Structure 1
């Protein structure tokens, strides 16, 4: 058991996240390891990525690490300084000294078991019965039913205890993604009724469709998400980051909602409660306390923390795209409300690329755009970071049952050249948009073919159309990802012509495959009346093929390839 001496001379248990390994990583040399938070930064140029095996933990820990960057370098890092920090990294003595000084200053705030201010917890938190719950309360892969298992098959019986390192990882992900629902009622929280903490909503990061630009090492990845307030330009005149700081720099929290941070219901849509990116990266959605013996965690108390809703937070949260919401404008009686654009687990990330390639100039000429891409991409554009391979990674959570359970998670990535997202040349984004539109429209043509074949056999076309879409998107998913890797500023127009050819060839092959599966009844065909007043129309596989090829030739003519 690790111990330190307290201020009054007593020994107390200690698991300091700055010193003790708790973050699993994949190294650039192919090996795996587990590092402390200090080592995460010191070795960042040799680490490929955070790799816990759980995408939600990966995203949550990465956001904490970016919060450290804001603490060390501030939120108004100018362009020349940002580029210098990116270039030199923690291997530079002067930069590493800044990290060491920062860690020394806030060292006690990173101790998981500190008696006064345990990391991401509240010392002395208790209920009227002084009870702790089982660790399944913070473990998102314990299923509420057989169909909701997300990452692993594990039972509640396996969670009678947990190592401090694993508990730290679950603590961070709980503060980021915890579902809504009734929590334990903390003594001293004025919101508690009848010993219960009634639902305040999901944890902050659960509202987001997180988008992360990953570089070829962890240092680049962290810096790509570290956005200075110059990114706002003149687009957000009322946004104020002057009171922004990660949680470990602020006064120690207690069981009560924190004034100025806990957002009252009637203040929904007033984004000043967000304070800034460092605040949101380390937002305390819950009040938590571990039961432990100094090395092993045996129970947890999980209570409500600070309420915060995402309406109009686009000037503070940098890692998600945004969409204008007319429904929220009506509900809140506000003229303009933006909501995070969450990821759809049934829709591959590449199909949403047009939302991410919108150039900054378009935002500046349209004061009320319908969609806004993640500010991290605007920042990289301003920093002129381009012409390098990155991995665009999407993370998110889908909640069910009144947001009280996690139904699904999103973990999707794309390898591409960063110029696609940051190039000022509009041809790049337009080529990507055209390629996706061609694909979507071509798949619709194929789905129509499948529906017409079904009609030829006297069947309902709904299911065959859906299956044809699923087959086509599954096929194009692999092909598009492969094609996208090599698109650059110089070759984007040639690559678009290549994609037209590949799309046409793939659709013809899929159409042939579906035609081969047609029944004898469909080949013979039949007359179909679309409605009682309409004239009967002949349907057969042969006619369906003629219509398919006519539509395909119109959308993707051979002469355009």
Structure 2
């Protein structure tokens, strides 16, 4: 590796090829060989959108342009790789045109950094400040293997990834004041929001190769990209009067377009490399306040939305929708498959990229059996968003046919299956509460402790993923879909009955006799037998395809 950390040619990125081979390569090699790359080897799920947005997608779009029609998009997608002309454009873009701006340790223009950035107190901090899972400052993860007193050495490749991650996901609150920043006071800058992705529930469609993933994340724009819209490394070509991301000053401002949005510099950073026996590593960093995104624009491609029918004055009608901690991606399918704005009232509205894929499928440009995947990720912040409390990451196979807005039979079937699991979970939680009352106790509060519904949903996780994978090829076979839903109901009942039997076995003998409680002037009897009977009645009402014959139900549960 060269002393300047050349992102274009040095082996800073790790790729897993379609044949399973693992190799390291530079940015140009990753892009020109994207059709041979299955995925990029990344340390955490939140790294994928950071790398796509801050590096891969804007380079691709700015070098070869975005498709202007669905047909052009489909032509590129079906080709499965960059054409010779595209490769020439990428090579020129990362060569004579902008190649000198993709160097991590360049003295004059380091990539995604500020050359010569200095803290007002003259200090630097540990490179751990870039890694949320390692203790640093107020951010003290429970299971961090390092303390703040330990020094962390990041290779150039690791430093590149965590640099991009920090621009997207950094915590909020107080940041080090930079020399030359007139808004810094008393050695610090306050009121910083999280990085732009920290305010979203990120949704990234994925394909069979990196090339397909890049295309699935590329919108078609009839007018193309706005000529005034430039990525951060071409900030000097912008016509606006915004502060340069290559300097210590910053501003609160809107996004100037897709390229600006994806490469938004939410922090001013400088990596401080050092020579070690193993080569050049990053040991110290400076992280200061950066630009603040005034509002997430509706052109944001990687989030679902909450549509608000009657927003308050000055508030947008759509706001980014965050993921819920502790829920698998399939439990949020009602949001991912919300292809139309709610007719009445508030509700979810899926991401622009998934809506685009729905249109492409409707016009025959994306086959129904295409193995589309969706990756979701997010960070949960605590204590004024100054610390990271939890990371969310999951992937999901998604049948393309379920994205059809006009013909919603498959989508309705999938959402029915999700709803059945949720209702069965609530029935289990009610059983648990009734058994506790029958035993002389009180129900577990909904927001405390572990509930039986969590174990049920965990037990059904693999079954749901197999179901979604199978539904990719169901076509218009109604009989096959009906059999799949019946098999799903059998799985739900088997897991639910098993969990119910576990709860019943744990109940003390006095639960058989039970107790009487008064509520609103009425006496309510709680007994274990009555609770179990009510549970099975509710379960039968949820799983309507299963035979109501008790002997048949026993066989299905077995």
Band of TM-score, shorter chain: 0.7 to 0.9
Asked whether the equivalents of residues 139 and 387 of structure 2 are also in contact (C-alpha less than 8 Å), the reply is no
Give distance in 2, aligned partners of 1:381 and 1:326.
24
Would you say 1:404 and 2:395 are equivalent positions? no
Give distance in 2, aligned partners of 1:485 and 1:160.
41
Q: Secondary structure at the match of 2:11?
A: coil
- Larger deviation, residues 100-109 vs 491-500: 491-500
Would you say 1:507 and 2:507 are equivalent positions? no
User: Which runs of structure 2 are paired with 1:42-81 in the superposition (5 Å)?
Assistant: 42-63=32-53, 64-75=55-66, 77-81=68-72
Give distance in 1, aligned partners of 2:450 and 2:491.
22
Q: Secondary structure at the match of 1:406?
A: strand
Give distance in 2, aligned partners of 1:501 and 1:352.
22
Indicate how the Cα distance of structure 1 residues 86 and 559 shifts in structure 2: closer, same or farther if over 3 A, else same. Answer: closer
Asked whether the equivalents of residues 15 and 25 of structure 2 are also in contact (C-alpha less than 8 Å), the reply is yes
Structure 1: stretches of 5+ with no match in the other structure: 3-12, 233-239, 265-272
Counterpart residue number, 2:187: 195
- Larger deviation, residues 122-131 vs 274-283: 122-131
- Larger deviation, residues 498-507 vs 395-404: 498-507
Counterpart residue number, 1:283: 264
Superposition CA RMSD, Å: 2.9
Would you say 1:382 and 2:365 are equivalent positions? no
- Larger deviation, residues 400-409 vs 317-326: 317-326
Would you say 1:541 and 2:528 are equivalent positions? yes
Indicate how the Cα distance of structure 1 residues 366 and 457 shifts in structure 2: closer, same or farther if over 3 A, else same. Answer: closer
Counterpart residue number, 2:4: 14
Counterpart residue number, 1:7: none
Give distance in 1, aligned partners of 2:252 and 2:148.
34
User: Which runs of structure 2 are paired with 1:309-324 in the superposition (5 Å)?
Assistant: 309-311=294-296, 313-314=297-298, 316-324=299-307
Give distance in 1, aligned partners of 2:345 and 2:67.
25
Counterpart residue number, 2:464: 480
Cα shift at 1:521: 0.9
Give distance in 1, aligned partners of 2:344 and 2:106.
48
User: Which runs of structure 2 are paired with 1:48-127 in the superposition (5 Å)?
Assistant: 48-63=38-53, 64-75=55-66, 77-90=68-81, 92-104=83-95, 105-127=97-119
Counterpart residue number, 1:38: 28
Cα displacement string for residues 258-306 of structure 1 (whole angstroms, at most 9, x for unaligned residues): 5xxx326xxxxxxxx1222222211100111122247332321111110
Give distance in 2, aligned partners of 1:477 and 1:151.
26
Cα shift at 1:116: 2.2
Asked whether the equivalents of residues 180 and 404 of structure 1 are also in contact (C-alpha less than 8 Å), the reply is yes
Indicate how the Cα distance of structure 1 residues 204 and 336 shifts in structure 2: closer, same or farther if over 3 A, else same. Answer: closer
Asked whether the equivalents of residues 150 and 409 of structure 1 are also in contact (C-alpha less than 8 Å), the reply is no
Query: How many residues of Structure 1 are paired with residues of Structure 2 in the alignment?
Result: 523
Cα displacement string for residues 22-49 of structure 1 (whole angstroms, at most 9, x for unaligned residues): 1223222223232211111122122111
Give distance in 1, aligned partners of 2:98 and 2:28.
12
Cα shift at 1:118: 0.9
Indicate how the Cα distance of structure 1 residues 55 and 154 shifts in structure 2: closer, same or farther if over 3 A, else same. Answer: farther
Counterpart residue number, 2:413: 431
Counterpart residue number, 2:551: none
Indicate how the Cα distance of structure 1 residues 463 and 147 shifts in structure 2: closer, same or farther if over 3 A, else same. Answer: farther
- Larger deviation, residues 188-197 vs 348-357: 188-197
Give distance in 2, aligned partners of 1:500 and 1:371.
26
Cα displacement string for residues 94-117 of structure 1 (whole angstroms, at most 9, x for unaligned residues): 221121122121101111122222
* 2:334 maps to which of 341, 351, 354: 354
Q: Secondary structure at the match of 1:49?
A: strand
Would you say 1:420 and 2:411 are equivalent positions? no
